[in-house]
Amino acid sequence: MDASPGRDDSDDPRPSTQDATGLAPGSLAGIRVIDLTRVISGPFASQMLGDHGAEVIKIETPGEGDVVRRQGNMVNGFSAYFAQFNRNKRSITLNLREPEGRQILNRLLEDADVLVENFRPGVLAKMGLDDDTLRQRFPRLVVGRINGFGSTGPYRDRPAYDFVAQAMSGFMGVNGVEGGEPMRAAPPISDMVASLNLAFGVSAALVRRERTGQGEILETALTNGLVVMLGYLAAEYFATGEVPRRTGNDHPMLYPYGLFEASDGEVAIAPSSETMVRRLLEALGRVDLLEQPRFADNAQRMAHREALREILNEVTRRRSVDDWIEHLNTAGVPCGRVQDLRETFDDPQIIDQRMRLTLDQGEAGQIATTGFPVKMREAPAMIQRPAPQLGEHTDEVLAELGFGADECRALRQRGIV
Amino acid sequence: MDASPGRDDSDDPRPSTQDATGLAPGSLAGIRVIDLTRVISGPFASQMLGDHGAEVIKIETPGEGDVVRRQGNMVNGFSAYFAQFNRNKRSITLNLREPEGRQILNRLLEDADVLVENFRPGVLAKMGLDDDTLRQRFPRLVVGRINGFGSTGPYRDRPAYDFVAQAMSGFMGVNGVEGGEPMRAAPPISDMVASLNLAFGVSAALVRRERTGQGEILETALTNGLVVMLGYLAAEYFATGEVPRRTGNDHPMLYPYGLFEASDGEVAIAPSSETMVRRLLEALGRVDLLEQPRFADNAQRMAHREALREILNEVTRRRSVDDWIEHLNTAGVPCGRVQDLRETFDDPQIIDQRMRLTLDQGEAGQIATTGFPVKMREAPAMIQRPAPQLGEHTDEVLAELGFGADECRALRQRGIV
């Protein structure tokens, strides 16, 4: 049926993390999340909560839904991009421009533990849910939000987008090669980092809520999250006042380090200490280089980097990538293959770690998504349900709120759901 | 010395998040973390827990300590790199190679809520703390670990390093320019992402611990975390079987998007929808371009990208970066300056968001670090104490365990602490 390349973990004899037998429900079981987010940063965050057992109700605009439903490649009419970030959620439609729609949202919040949103600052307030109202009306609710630049400050109302956050945070300025242009990272890392920060912030606030009964309102911004990811470089900037330059694959402070040429490709080699440099040179049969004053310590090697690079490549070119990876790992030197995504998902270690999981998307068939980055022993992340069709669970959730079938039909006719 | 609250760099008149007056203790107040991590991924994770109120006790080898203490630029003898990732912790020395040292670790764990470690798989087991023992002896403890590749699978014992994780995860393969070499991201993103995953996982497990009394053992790996960060590209690969290529600053699916030339530099412009493309072209005075068949929709614009790039740069070159940022943001088009770290930390928005915080490091003076990415309204992150000197709190923590001054002295003489 559909194109699902690469191998799955399905012939792995161990019990799958998707099989709950004998395991506890996820860590966040019993936590109900009302999810107003769309596109990527918010949905990835709420999916992480859902992966770990939270019950997530995604609220979408009737007839439209999350714009991502119409983006990227379609697998039998279902967006693979949407599936990637919306498993483990139910979907209901709700027109929040209508008072009746907002009333239903309020009823949902009464039974909820968490509300997540990634509107521009102020949009939720215009729906009658400003921060003070949220805290008063729902004192046990944890509200988590993602925005571009923060909800205060001169840029609070600017439209946000990952590429802009990468530019403004300083990330692009250090990424790329010397003499080249500032370079974005290929994936939308400011979105993804914001998701991780939100998932952490919401969970930390829930710990406090469990202990004190108090809810919380918290936020994270695309720019702020990326600034913190630059902490290693920021620390050097703060200490020296010198702005870090782009150094491509070379480490700004260590050598040897980087890509080296094998007979059939490149090997990433990263010895992080003097001990490991010695191990590397021993494994290459060139420990004699350390006797030369120009290579005797890291400072000397940095000063004579190009000369040493040439000498080392002469050695590494004699054998294959596979050979070097085997040989250097045995010697205790961190190294690895530079993989494309096919090689990554076919890598036996990545398969062992089940980093590719397949969703059964009903009529759309099977759609593969990435696996779980956090592995728990007793209450592991699981696939409880695939990504939902738009409004697939509207009637079900309305019934849970006490609406009868006739009321649901009437709401639908009036365009409320 | 002790808890010297850090100072904020801004003249902002609002109460600082570092000033606790009227605010609740952090979300993780009352949670005690025993921290065996070193270098970067683990320490950044435990620092996030500490920023949000957890009590973190960092355990270091007597006389040596975390290797990062001797790395990077020194500010009056104190490593800026160490300060960046170790605020809000106490430090004790403990020789875990000695049975007496391990006994003290066990006593610490009796009163702890969390243990974090980033040893290679199996090292903790060799200290007598294998997973089954940990679960039996400390049933309420949440154990969180970071490793390179996961604790199962063919590469479980390989040495790990950020550069290698970037190579093997597929990240380097998509990062960089077409025709150029695979490119690492400048910051150690696999470490940083693992930290965020660990902070999330530990907090989620604590939510369950609060509700069920059950502890947990969880882990995250450098490679697995980065694979998930590639989810947007992985979804396309899974759906099509086509391996994504490096596309530099160009979006693989949208145009116009990217860096454009202003009279005095470059502007990052990222319209993410047809509506925004129209707004951009209106703001540039060239909405007429949409009438041309070759630019009429996104597919056409992708096919004629270079022609459109040239036309747009002709317009953008007429005005300055500042002008365009003002003008385009007013028009609702996501855009921003490509900043180096100095410009980022001098940016009024980044200052508003307090993304630079200064630690009072006692004799070492003031050392700046990055701020908090998660902002909480009622129980905000705070600087409770600067980064510790090696073993600064050994006697204090031993006293809390009931050791007298004489016993501490004897332990120190025997090299246990």
User: Chain A residue with minimal CA distance to B355?
Assistant: A224
Specify whether the CB–CB gap between A50 and A56 falls below 8 A.
Answer: yes
pLDDT, residue A272, reads 84
Q: Is the peptide bond before A13 cis (omega within 30 degrees of 0)?
A: no
Mutation for testing the A interface, residue in B338, B343, B356 having most A CBs under 10 Å: B338
pLDDT, residue B253, reads 82
Specify whether the CB–CB gap between B94 and B416 falls below 8 A.
Answer: yes
One-letter amino acid identity for B391? G
pLDDT, residue A14, reads 39
Query: Beta-carbon neighbour count of residue B76 at 10 Å?
Result: 11
Q: Are A218 and B375 an interchain contact pair (Cβ–Cβ within 8 Å)?
A: yes
pLDDT, residue B22, reads 73
Specify whether the CB–CB gap between B181 and A259 falls below 8 A.
Answer: yes
What does DSSP assign to residue A152?
S
Q: Rounded to 5 degrees, what angle do the CA atoms B67, B109, A17 make?
A: 85
Q: What is the mean pLDDT of residues A342-368?
A: 97
Mutation for testing the B interface, residue in A162, A374, A376, A378 having most B CBs under 10 Å: A374
User: Chain B residue with minimal CA distance to A217?
Assistant: B377
Among residues A9, A66, A191, A250, which one is catalytic?
Answer: A191
Specify whether the CB–CB gap between B232 and A40 falls below 8 A.
Answer: yes
Structure tokens that stand for B331 in this block: 């028009």
Is the ipTM above a cut-off of 0.85? yes
Average predicted confidence (pLDDT) for chain A: 93
Query: Beta-carbon neighbour count of residue B406 at 10 Å?
Result: 8
Specify whether the CB–CB gap between A389 and A66 falls below 8 A.
Answer: no
What does DSSP assign to residue A358?
E
Q: Which CATH class is domain A32-231+354-413?
A: alpha beta
From the list B170, B248, B332, the residue facing A340 with the nearest CB is: B170
Specify whether the CB–CB gap between A178 and B174 falls below 8 A.
Answer: no
Q: Rounded to 5 degrees, what angle do the CA atoms B339, B342, B343 make?
A: 40
For chain A, the domains span 32-231+354-413, 258-346
Instruction: Say whether A245 sits in a helix, a strand or coil.
Output: coil
Report the distance separating Cα B21 and Cα A229, nearest Å: 29
pLDDT, residue A140, reads 98
From the list B163, B200, B218, the residue facing A196 with the nearest CB is: B200
Structure tokens that stand for B66 in this block: 């975390």
H or E segment and range at residue A258: strand A258-262
Instruction: Say whether A311 sits in a helix, a strand or coil.
Output: helix
Structure tokens that stand for A85 in this block: 């970030």
Mutation for testing the A interface, residue in B17, B33, B349 having most A CBs under 10 Å: B349
From the list A163, A172, A374, the residue facing B257 with the nearest CB is: A163
What is the maximum span of chain B, computed from C-alpha positions, in angstroms? 86
Report the distance separating Cα B11 and Cα A328, nearest Å: 53
Chain A residues touching residue B153 (CB < 8 angstroms):
348-349, 352-353
H or E segment and range at residue A274: helix A274-283
Structure tokens that stand for B321 in this block: 């970066």
Query: Among this protein's residues, is B191 annotated catalytic?
Result: yes
Interacting residues of B410 by C-beta distance below 8 A, sequence separation 6+: none
Taking CB atoms and an 8 Å cut-off, how many pairs form between chains A and B? 513
Q: Low-confidence residues of chain B, pLDDT below 50?
A: 1-20
Give B192's Cβ-side CA count (13 Å radius).
26
What is the CATH architecture of B258-346?
2-Layer Sandwich (3.30)
Cα torsion angle, A138, A141, A142, A145, sign: negative
Structure tokens that stand for B244 in this block: 């994504």
Q: What's the pLDDT band for A253 if we cut at 50, 70, 90?
A: confident
pLDDT, residue B21, reads 59
Whether A16 has a pLDDT exceeding 70, the answer reads: no
Q: What's the pLDDT band for A21 if we cut at 50, 70, 90?
A: low
How many angstroms separate the CA of residue A125 from the nearest CA in chain B? 16
A78-79/A74-75 β-pairing? antiparallel
Specify whether the CB–CB gap between A382 and A47 falls below 8 A.
Answer: no
Specify whether the CB–CB gap between B385 and B100 falls below 8 A.
Answer: no
Q: Are A31 and B207 an interchain contact pair (Cβ–Cβ within 8 Å)?
A: yes
Chain A residues touching residue B233 (CB < 8 angstroms):
186-187, 341
Q: State pLDDT tens for residues A285-330.
A: 999 999 999 999 999 999 999 999 999 999 999 999 999 999 999 9
User: Chain B residue with minimal CA distance to A25?
Assistant: B208
pLDDT, residue A2, reads 37
HEC string for A374-393 = EEECCCCCCCCCCCCCCCCC
Query: Which of these, A37, A61, A375, lies nearest to B149 by C-alpha position?
Result: A375
Q: Are B176 and A183 an interchain contact pair (Cβ–Cβ within 8 Å)?
A: yes
Query: Which of these, A261, A192, A193, lies nearest to A229 by C-alpha position?
Result: A193
Whether A22 has a pLDDT exceeding 80, the answer reads: no
Chain A residues touching residue B248 (CB < 8 angstroms):
181, 183-184
Structure tokens that stand for A101 in this block: 């729609």
HEC string for A26-86 = CCCCCCEEEECCCCCHHHHHHHHHHHCCCEEEEEECCCCCCHHHHCCCEECCEEHHHHHHH
Q: For the domain made up of B7-230+354-413, give the CATH fold.
A: Rossmann fold (3.40.50)
Structure tokens that stand for A138 in this block: 């729902």
Q: Are B216 and A373 an interchain contact pair (Cβ–Cβ within 8 Å)?
A: no
How far from chain centre, in Å, is Cα A299?
Answer: 37
HEC string for chain B = CCCCCCEECCCCCCCCCCCCCCCCCCCCCCCEEEECCCCCHHHHHHHHHHHCCCEEEEEECCCCCCHHHHCCCEECCEEHHHHHHHCCCEEEECCCCCHHHHHHHHHHHHCCCEEEECCCCCHHHHCCCCHHHHHHHCCCCEEEEEECCCCCCCCCCCCCCHHHHHHHCCHHHHCCCCCCCCCCCCCCHHHHHHHHHHHHHHHHHHHHHHHHCCCEEEEEEHHHHHHHHCHHHHHHHHHHCCCCCCCCCCCCCCCCCEEEEECCEEEEECCCCHHHHHHHHHHCCCHHHHHCHHHCCHHHHHHCHHHHHHHHHHHHCCCCHHHHHHHHHHCCCCEEECCCHHHHHHCHHHHHCCCEEEEECHHHCEEEEECCCEEECCCCCCCCCCCCCCCCCHHHHHHHCCCCHHHHHHHHHCCCC
Q: Is A387 exposed, middle or buried (0-12, 13-18, 19+ CB in 10 A)?
A: buried
Q: Are B373 and A225 an interchain contact pair (Cβ–Cβ within 8 Å)?
A: yes
Chain A residues touching residue B373 (CB < 8 angstroms):
193, 197, 220-221, 224-225, 227-228
